[in-house]
Amino acid sequence: MSILSGKNILLGITAGIAAYKTAFLVRLFVKSGARVKVVMTPASKDFITPLTLSTLSKNPVYSSFINDEDDNPLWNNHVDLGLWADIFIIAPATANTLSKMAHGVCDNLLLATYLSAKCPVYFAPAMDLDMYKHESIKHTFKILKNFGNVMIPATSGELASGLLGEGRMAEPEDIVSFIEQDILSKLPLKGKKILVTAGPTYEAIDPVRFIGNHSSGKMGFEIAKAAANLGAEVILITGPSHEKVSHSLIEVIRVVSAESMYNAVHDHYKNSDIAILSAAVADFKPKNIAKQKIKKKEASLSIELEKTKDILESLGKLKTHQFLVGFALETNDELKNAKDKLKKKNLNLIVLNSLNDYGAGFKNNTNKVTIIDNKDRVTEFELKDKAEVAQDLFNEIIKQIHA
């Protein structure tokens, strides 16, 4: 999954021959998982049709403040478009439009939307060689970059005039890659390696039966996704779970038992900057596993159990530079038990949730947590979607690692 997945991308198209490439650009954005809307200058429709772009983006294409062909025209609100966008990319960006952007000229819907946008703005210049090298254009680039806009440099190649040189709009694949890398480079966890555990473990009784719990893995998967969306490289070690994730920055390792999770975690812990252990690992396992299915001969069955290895405690003992986070699911004396666990296992943070809280715990899409740090600071949160809980957790982690 691309870092652009789930983003609202507004593509502005101006009147240059490179506009024909925007069909490919829209497809790449959609393929990356982004939601795409297109706004065109009126003259750009001479180079590519709105029908093509609306079909590929699965959204209406905007080019004027009102739709003249409609018997009951509605106003195309440039403010709403600007606020909708997480990213605004103007490609191709002609010399004419760039100059207007630099000097606040607002004579079409695209420019009005640009002046209303609150999101990062990228522009990919496209023009002939002499235009690209002209001092006035260089000055325009400087003004726009000083405004905080990000320039995707033109490349060298054959131009529409027949000349060879700079001015050719970057290829669609390179535009998408440039934006992805620029976003990643500015994220707070860029370069960090994060280890996350999720889900239950299953401890075999015989080849058919096991001891397990009701953990779905939802919380751990949301933590992994939040970490990746903040730029981290993530190792997600999960017990049996129906949850799935596809992200270029997440490597998923699937295990079954507490022993296999212990081994996988220790394989990756040394190289981790942050470890977040949200898995509901079994505390006990059968001492002896039957090689054949146990037959139902008696009215009762006794199974001798033994303790599993405490993964979190073992990491606390090995901790050098790692920021270590544990989870505590409690049913009584919640705060005291969580604080004891925090201290005993040498954690930086512990995330407490109680089965006594409605909407918290296993299988729910929501959770209600309290985060406690090793300086005895306690922060309570309301019931939230688990994706929001994951974001709250990283807000606390980032605050502490940058303190």
Q: What is the pLDDT of residues 260-275, one digit of tens each?
A: 999 999 999 999 999 9
Residues 347-358 have pLDDT tens digits of 999 999 877 666
CATH of the domain at 240: 3.40.50.10300
Kindly state whether residues 164 and 201 are assigned to the same domain: no
Residues 192-207 have pLDDT tens digits of 999 999 999 999 999 9
Kindly state whether residues 171 and 247 are assigned to the same domain: no
Q: Assess if residue 148 is contained within a domain.
A: yes
Kindly state whether residues 201 and 180 are assigned to the same domain: no
Kindly state whether residues 93 and 151 are assigned to the same domain: yes
CATH of the domain at 167: 3.40.50.1950
**Is the pLDDT higher at 48 or at 302?**
48
Kindly state whether residues 296 and 154 are assigned to the same domain: no
Kindly state whether residues 136 and 64 are assigned to the same domain: yes
- Cα separation, 215 vs 22, in Å, equals 45
Q: Is pLDDT above 80 for 343?
A: yes
In the structure, what pLDDT confidence band is assigned to residue 77 with cuts at 50, 70 and 90?
confident
Kindly state whether residues 62 and 130 are assigned to the same domain: yes
Q: What is the mean pLDDT of the chain?
A: 92
Kindly state whether residues 279 and 385 are assigned to the same domain: yes
What is the side-by-side order of every strand in the sheet holding 87-93? 61-62, 35-40, 8-13, 87-93, 121-125, 150-151
Domain count within the chain = 2
Q: Is pLDDT above 70 for 74?
A: no
Kindly state whether residues 263 and 371 are assigned to the same domain: yes
Catalytic: which of 59, 96, 213, 337?
Answer: 213
Q: Assess if residue 3 is contained within a domain.
A: no
Helix (DSSP H) and strand (DSSP E) numbers for the chain: 13, 22
Kindly state whether residues 285 and 336 are assigned to the same domain: yes
- Domain endpoint, select from 162, 185, 208: 185
Q: Assess if residue 85 is contained within a domain.
A: yes
Q: Give residue 361's pLDDT.
A: 62
Task: Quote the domain boundaries for residue 286.
Answer: 193-401
Q: Assess if residue 2 is contained within a domain.
A: no
Amino acid, single-letter form, for residue 115: L
Q: Give residue 363's pLDDT.
A: 65
Kindly state whether residues 162 and 218 are assigned to the same domain: no
Q: Assess if residue 249 is contained within a domain.
A: yes
- Cα separation, 293 vs 263, in Å, equals 27
- Domain endpoint, select from 185, 206, 223: 185
- Domain endpoint, select from 145, 169, 185: 185
Q: Is 365 one of the catalytic residues?
A: no
Angle between helices 50-57 and 22-31 (to 10 degrees): 10
Q: Is pLDDT above 60 for 190?
A: yes
Q: Assess if residue 345 is contained within a domain.
A: yes
Q: Assess if residue 89 is contained within a domain.
A: yes
Kindly state whether residues 107 and 208 are assigned to the same domain: no
- In the chain, the percentage of residues whose pLDDT exceeds 90 is 80
Q: Is pLDDT above 90 for 57?
A: yes
Residues 196-239 have pLDDT tens digits of 999 999 999 999 999 998 899 999 999 999 999 999 999 999 99
At residue 312's C-alpha, the angle toward residues 306 and 314, to 5°, is 80
Q: Assess if residue 235 is contained within a domain.
A: yes
